[in-house]
Amino acid sequence: MFGNHGQLFRLSVFRSADTAQQFLRQCYQQLQRDDAVQRSYANCYPFLYYLEHGQNFYAAAQQAPLSIKPVLLFYGMVQLLKACLLTVDPDYPESTSVLAHGVSARKRKKQGYEFLDDEVKIQKNGLFAHFSEKMFHVKQEAGEKFRMGTLLQRISELHETFFLLSGRKKPLSLPVVHTASPPMLAIPKVILDHYHMSLSRFVQYLCEEGQGKRLSFAKEEGEFLYFHIESPLSPAGEGPFLFHLDGTLRIPVKKEKTFSLPEIHAHYLLLYNLSMISRYETEWWSELLHSYPSKAYTFILEFLSVSAEKVPLLLHEYLMRKFLG
């Protein structure tokens, strides 16, 4: 589903100013900007610099000790997001209000603090709300809170760990079979029981509310529901499907808002909070890394490993879809 599994930075397609300028001009013309040529020239070097700066952060994160990894991964992601924003917002940054992180972390209690129960709160302005709306057309509500344990569930690579460590009797997601010829998805029919939906309601939910015109219902056969893929599914887009690094596809068994958000949102919020903890909660962070007091350590360690590889792939997919039209 991810196509080429090479890192974004190993591809040479965006390495020249000429290619970047033509790419941005194409993006701005699709936005019907009268100044598409001028803005593409003005933004081609910032676009390249954001990508290069992101590369440097990710390269440093590979060699860095675990204690500072969240900081490097978060700011590497921020740089890549800025490059992506330049494809949909020719005037970025139009004001200083979009430069802030757009998220706040609550004050932590020294006693009894549990990372999985910790929350971050969305701010009215800032990078989070800006890229949500511009890149994914998702309007964020100021003041909304997201719990760390819930956000971690948005990352499909962690589902096995949740199953093993949380005492769950059922998995968080079900495998979806993807066939290339003809392009179809086969979804386990048991999903209807999990969602408490009739077949007709599930088809409406998936084809109209979830993936729009990307899917159409084909048939019900055996233990599966089959859907035609009318246009390629985007790993960087909205749910309800979960894209795995191994190229497989899954569908969550819970119909919750977190699973309908683009996965990029979960990575951003988790990395933001972990980077804040790394910088400002040094005592708790060091104790976690050296004494392994809770299962949070396992989730954090696995998440950082996945995020280091997956975020560049998700954003590479986002850029390449625009590049290829």
242 & 128 share domain = no
Q: Which domain holds residue 145?
A: 10-157+262-322
67 & 173 share domain = no
139 & 281 share domain = yes
Residue 85, C-beta contacts closer than 8 angstroms, at least 6 positions apart: 92, 130, 131, 134, 135
266 & 241 share domain = no
**Would you say residue 3 lies in a domain?**
no
Mean pLDDT across the stretch 175-188?
90
268 & 248 share domain = no
pLDDT value at 208 more than 80: no
What SS3 state is found at 324?
Answer: coil
**Would you say residue 5 lies in a domain?**
no
- Identify the pLDDT of residue 237: 67
Model confidence pLDDT, tens digit, residues 64-122: 999 999 999 999 999 999 999 999 999 999 888 899 999 999 776 667 788 999 999 99
Model confidence pLDDT, tens digit, residues 309-325: 999 999 998 998 888 87
Beta bridge partners of 104: 121
3-state secondary structure 68-120: HHHHHHHHHHHHHHHHHHHHHCCCCCCCHHHCCCCEEECCCCCCCCCHHHCEE
153 & 179 share domain = no
Mean pLDDT across the stretch 178-204?
92
Residue, of 44 and 235, whose pLDDT is higher: 44
Q: Domain tally for the chain?
A: 2
**Would you say residue 318 lies in a domain?**
yes
Torsion of CA 19, 22, 25, 30, to 10 degrees: -100
**Would you say residue 20 lies in a domain?**
yes
Mean pLDDT across the stretch 166-183?
85
pLDDT value at 14 more than 50: yes
Domain termination site, one of 233, 257, 281: 257
The reported pTM is 0.93
251 & 110 share domain = no
Model confidence pLDDT, tens digit, residues 256-297: 878 888 999 999 999 999 999 999 998 889 988 888 678 899
Tally Cβ neighbours within 10 Å of residue 18.
8
